Structure 1
């Protein structure tokens, strides 16, 4: 059984499932080198087929995530449809259901034609799945939990297929939806529009707003939060959200500008974070109480907010919680292929559990050597090192910054060690060193710690024993330990967006951190993504060398080759 899943919207990409196993998944941005690429992911489709060793003729089913998807032109410039208010809402409400249906059918035909032209599949091989059902399926089937007892499945995002949040109960192969919130009452839309109001890029820079929030004075953040309380609330039944008044969340920008004028930027960030945390956790508490289910899985872009996830994980009554890695729309193609597999007669138990998300391309030492020989060596030198992982750890222990390129590329928004920049977390000046060398991050933004999983309790407060291999939760740190890894925690509130690294999931990256531990007594390294500011994570050796040349990086480990800049 070969199933190809496609997400053809914002941060588009493709996933291939073969006989119940996720063989490959790639975001289009890695291939086009355009951050958060939009549209039909032609290159990703080609890439996942190649990585899986599958011929075009072997694809049995193609499934698009989302019944409806905007055009690439529409998605490329949100300013056209963010700066709207009551007047535009009134105009849009005049559209008839017949007009909307015709538009959906036209877009489906256009989307189908893309894959027909590329792969030569027949129309009857192509299907579409509901947006929030795909988010739910990604979280449920990707959780790794046993399917023999009930699981509470939550989705929350900006909107997709006219919904913005759902509550479902999963058991066995089936998920039963018990509540749905419409697109007009979206929690996610408020956060994205405030991101836009602050001069940042919506659907990309929300994490910057979250990172700034702890710097706000609580008094002024609360003032902003109370303003937002007048926009949206938890619904009367407790299982969804509803607007306060007649204004739909698509059309709040003009009101936001008036309400937030002269409010400090940090207070706005703190206020929207406080507002989001309160509504999200109240909603989750209600769902847990209503269903009596203590095991929770989550998907959708709102759950990219690791600070809100932290609070969700601390809710009384929740014993187990899983948030799908990089759970924005880029994750939809996972849910799509799992749903299609179940529809075709497979079972949840037969689906291979998601062992890790290193699902992209890897490169051999011979391939890398070939690339190195074609590059000018005037400014750098290289050598083959048998135990490169130990060498990387030694360089980090000596307080160097090292870019690491090893194994299969990780999927999603987070760098998880294989396309990462690493350094010593014990030295605060390393934050400025990395920023001046390459990252140019906003001054308030933290870096993240990768830590040996079995030693993680030494550093983070984790009473429920949540496993966090994908950086989807923030954790409080113990005061004495936060000082030890100061460069890898949030400077203001000392939380850590931790990656717990196991030997089983990534033996070589685990080895780097273990060698560092043997040398320093600290089982944590500072990890940030290997890319130039504003660009996607590197994919190929050529990408890595381009970043190396165009930054202040001194060391690059390309598989077993250590590249060093000459003085």
Structure 2
């Protein structure tokens, strides 16, 4: 059975083709249009998918989409927001003014510089009018209640317009591509549960989904046994940990749904005890459930950001996220007796959260779907409807996009007038260059599916210099608070990371952090965060021999089985897709060398 899955069109529109439970191809529209998180009908991605697989639209048995009709979605969230009114009215918040006064006495003097901040205690400075408004709308109960309900009303109006618009765009796009059959619609969180479970290889697992919004929900827990998924609990929107984190991302000056990773990085510099309990006092936690007070009031986080250091605000939100999510999941682990977690949804892009979930007592195995956000729902929906039954081996890689011929790579180099060689032992040469301090971009094989570069569209460097995080980010035009992530030989995983047993496969997709060993801290300080963790990609030779061989050759020279791996792209652009993208990013990024297919290219205009 051949199924075409199309992800939600509101952001990161993605196409996935599944046949009898196997993903043949998956790629996001952004990689072709070069606009990050491209919305709208994924026409280019679909055309490339059909070309790559040799299929036509008439070959599909089903086309599926991981949202209900706009009318049915509206019914769900309209009822939810009515329920929210009663919850806000009945909730008894603590005395916020007293909490804030007490918290301000705990902010320490700080002098140690944090790259990317003007001062370690920098706040979001606003003028008097803004601060006064945030004080009213964020902290005065009657006004803040009103702001929260207005926020929910505005969200619902925007959601209705969005669902209607993208439903029309979906139908029109499919018609233009030649699809005349119906579209099989699917409840959003079931598509998340399906991609995590059906790709995990586990027979029995607890499926946890957490995101902003999907078919009336912001999260769910399901029992998955013998290829079947049974929902045990739902978290109704707007009780959304995704929305909570989007608010703090926006309030600290970053782009929601794009820059949440910066908040994770900032959080490690702050003290969660300053504001953490204030946040928790606004979340009603019951066994196996939770509700968020004033969930759609963005002014509360802006109020905190105007009064407290950015790092402490970030730390509090990360702490609250971890505490609420782990309490929620722990209950269901104990209730079901399942020792295996499979995770999906935008919230579990938070790699520190995933580490905390894996640390829950009784959890022995974990898998995070590599494209955990809404872009991954296309494959979840398609897998669910194409599944032949039973259990299959886990996916071995996320290399599910297009690849390109040597001749096209060569033509792209010639078009830019670049000189290139074809070394006899490319891996050994690249390893030697990296060891000597050169930055090497690698482009080869099928493009990665999802948000992480996993070696085929990556920039590689040695991890022995902590300073690399500043100068390489500067060269690439990026501002990050997390260090670069390492790629590590699979067989060296326990040399480099603590408590990795049971999470090895998740770590092949760079979806979880671990505490680093002393060896890792000593030899790869550029890849170790201030809290002593790293977010590794474990690499096995059978998965990607060319990439593995570079790391192995580097280990032979240096004795270190890890390198820095960061995405091959220019600032605020998607990861490169084609040889032409790679050549352009290589030249513009002033990287030292490009390993593209079998060819090695030296930068003609070095930056140093």
Indicate whether the TM-score tops 0.5: yes
Within a 5 Å distance, the mapping from 1:189-338 to structure 2 comes to 189-216=243-270, 218=271, 221-234=272-285, 236=286, 238-244=287-293, 247=294, 249-250=295-296, 252-338=297-383
What are the residue-to-residue correspondences of 1:450-489 with 2, within 5 Å? 450-462=487-499, 464-467=501-504, 468-489=507-528
CA positional deviation for 1:440: 2.7
Distance 1:297 1:325, change over 3 A: same
Structure 2: gaps spanning 5 or more residues: 72-133, 139-143
* Distance (whole Å) between structure 2 residues aligned to residue 102 and residue 193 of structure 1: 21
Aligned to 1:424: 462
Residue 51 of structure 1 is matched in structure 2 by 52
Partner of 1:5: 5
User: What are the residue-to-residue correspondences of 1:56-71 with 2, within 5 Å?
Assistant: 56-67=57-68
Local SS of the residue matching 2:249: helix
Instruction: Give TM-score, length-normalised by structure 1.
Output: 0.89
SS at match of 2:213: strand
Conservation of the 8 A alpha-carbon contact between 2:29 and 2:45: yes
Distance in 2 separating the partners of 1:264 and 1:100: 32
Shift of 1:243: 2.8
Quickly say closer, same or farther: Cα 1:122–1:321, change in 2 above 3 A: same
Q: Deviations over 1:8-46 (max 9, x none)?
A: 221111100123321110011111101111222111111
Alpha-carbon distance in structure 1 between the residues aligned to 2:152 and 2:495:
56
Question: Is residue 157 from structure 1 mapped to residue 206 from structure 2 by the alignment?
Answer: no
What are the residue-to-residue correspondences of 1:45-194 with 2, within 5 Å? 45-67=46-68, 86-87=145-146, 90=149, 106=164, 110-124=168-182, 126-145=183-202, 147=203, 150-194=204-248
| Counterparts in 2 of 1:515 and 1:68: CA distance versus 1, 3 Å | farther
Distance in structure 1 (CA, Å) of the matches to 2:502 and 2:63: 38
**Structure 1 residues 328-364: Cα deviation after superposition (integer angstroms, max 9, x where no partner):** 111111110011113xxx2143x56422110111122
Q: After TM superposition, give the deviation of residue 69 of structure 1 in Å.
A: 6.9
Corresponding residue to 2:532 among 494, 505, 527: 494
Q: Which moved more, 1:362-371 or 1:499-508?
A: 362-371
Provide the residue aligned with 1:38 in structure 2.
39
CA distance in structure 1 between the aligned counterparts of 2:400 and 2:328, rounded to whole angstroms: 33
2:591 aligned with 1:553, yes or no? yes
Mark the CA change 1:153 to 1:94 in structure 2 (over 3 Å): closer, same or farther: closer
Conserved 8 A contact 2:276-2:320: yes
In the alignment, the residues of structure 2 paired with residue 226 and residue 411 of structure 1 have an alpha-carbon distance, to the nearest angstrom, of 38
Structure 1 residues 434 and 205: alpha-carbon distance in aligned structure 2, compared to 1, 3 A threshold: same
Give me the whole-angstrom Cα distance separating, in 2, the residues matched to 1:157 and 1:55: 33
Q: Deviations over 1:199-252 (max 9, x none)?
A: 100001010000111111x2xx32321221132232x2x2222134xx3x12x1
- C-alpha change, 1:153 and 1:465, in structure 2 (3 Å) is closer
Check the 8 A contact 1:68/1:104 in 2, yes or no: no
Q: Size of the alignment, in residue pairs?
A: 532
412, 426, 430: which one aligns with 1:392 = 430
Unaligned runs of 5+ in 1: 71-81
Change in 2 beyond 3 A, CA 1:188/1:516: same
SS of residue paired to 2:275: helix
For each residue in 1:381-408, what CA deviation from the matched residue of structure 2 results, as whole angstroms up to 9, or x when unmatched?
A: 2112232222111111112110111111
The question of 1:518 aligning with 2:556 is answered: yes
Q: Aligned equivalents of 1:102 and 1:479: distance in 2? A: 52
Q: Deviation string for 1:74-119 (max 9, x for gaps)?
A: xxxxxxxx99964465568889x9x999979955751442343232
In 1, Cα distance between the equivalents of 2:159 and 2:503?
A: 44
Q: After the TM superposition, which of the residue ranges 492-501 and 39-48 deviates more from structure 2?
A: 39-48
Q: Secondary structure at the match of 1:409?
A: coil
- For the 8 Å contact 1:68–1:161, the answer to whether it is kept is no
SS of 2:6's partner is strand
What is the RMSD computed on CA atoms of the aligned residues?
2.5
Change (3 A) 1:503 1:375: same
Q: Does the 8 Å CA contact 1:513/1:525 hold for their aligned counterparts?
A: yes
Residues 406 and 559 of structure 1 are in contact (CA less than 8 Å); yes or no, is this contact kept in structure 2? yes
Q: Deviations over 1:33-61 (max 9, x none)?
A: 01111222111111221221212221221
Distance in 1 separating the partners of 2:476 and 2:555: 26
Q: Any runs of at least 4 consecutive aligned residues in structure 1 with deviations exceeding 6 A, and if so which? A: 82-85, 92-95, 99-105
**Per the alignment, in what secondary structure is the counterpart of residue 62 of structure 1?**
strand
Alpha-carbon deviation of 1:431? 2.9
Which residue matches 1:360?
Answer: 401
Q: What secondary structure is seen at the aligned counterpart in 2 of 1:359?
A: coil
